[in-house]
Amino acid sequence: MHLADFNQEQSAQVTAFLQSCVNIESWVAHIQQQRPFSSKQALLSCAEQQAKTWQWAEIESALSKHPRIGEKPSTTHLSAQEQQHSNAEQANISQDQRTQAALLAGNIAYEEKFGFIFLIKAAGLSSEQVLEQLNIRLTHDTQIEQEIVKQQLALIALRRLDQGINT
């Protein structure tokens, strides 16, 4: 979407676009209210600042729609745009049985320990790098992990926004 279109489109279209970046209502509403943006950088800066205000309940709600790392996204929970984002972001994650088994076991252990899915900005990471981070993060306490998840979700949202807006 071109920045000029983003600034002028009807609210419903902008809402759908922003929700495909991250489905956090306060973030979507704030960015919409700040339109028009003078530049892509102004938009990204606004989005980054708003992400710092996210509360854990909002993050947990957004996580409920994210597929596990290494899993094919469920078409029932994600829009077509969200599926495209997820597929592109996990493009380097190997689909071999060994990797799938290791990711599944790690995801289950993580969810049992923390009560939410393992989230990482996977774009550009190999399966080995993701598994290494998963194992490291399993040693953290819940408070540290919630902060890391918040940071990772913000990085994912900002990357999607950056890629989705053309100047």
* pLDDT tens digits, one per residue of 111-162: 999 999 999 999 988 888 999 999 999 999 999 999 999 999 999 999 999 9
Helix (H, G, I), strand (E, B) or coil at 166: strand
pTM, entire model:
0.86
Residues found in the chain: 167
Structural domain that includes position 62: 3-164
Both tokens of 138, joined, read: 């399993």
Cis peptide before 36 (omega within 30 of 0): yes
Question: How many domains, the chain?
Answer: 1
Percent of the chain with pLDDT over 90: 71
CATH of the domain at 21: 1.10.3330.10
Contacts of 124 (CB under 8 A, 6+ apart): 92
Contacts of 89 (CB under 8 A, 6+ apart): 121, 122, 123, 156, 159
Give Cα 76 to chain centroid, integer Å. 17
